[in-house]
Amino acid sequence: MDSLYNLDNAVFEYERNAIKVRVSAPFRLDPKRTQYRYRVEGLTNYEKWSAWKEEPVIELSYIPAGKYALYVNARNIIGQLSDEAQLEFEVLKPF
């Protein structure tokens, strides 16, 4: 899953501790039915893989200060998996 913009190691102010990430995959077979899943290393309740879903948007709210790694992968309609993509980011402390 390539990105137009490289956001790896992004840093967010504490007041902006919610993120929305739009993902895509290189599959050409019925791309609207591509499914995605994600997990966030370091964020309680998101350490395990999410359920597969067709919505290519990941929304995380109220992220506490700290360093995290978002992992995403996709599967197409015949079950082929994409390579796992990783995005590292940090939310700064409020002071």
pLDDT of 1 reads 39
CA 39, CA 31: separation in Å to the nearest integer? 22
- Cα–Cα dist 81/25, whole Å: 10
30-46 pLDDT, tens digit each: 999 999 999 999 999 99
| pLDDT of residue 5 exceeding 80 | no
pTM of the model: 0.86
pLDDT at 4: 41
pLDDT, residue 3, reads 42
For the segment 43-85, what is each residue's pLDDT rounded down to a tens digit? 999 999 999 999 999 999 999 999 999 999 999 999 999 999 9
How buried is 93 (Cβ within 10 angstroms: 0-12 exposed, 13-18 middle, 19+ buried)? exposed
Q: How many CB atoms lie within 10 A of CB 31?
A: 14
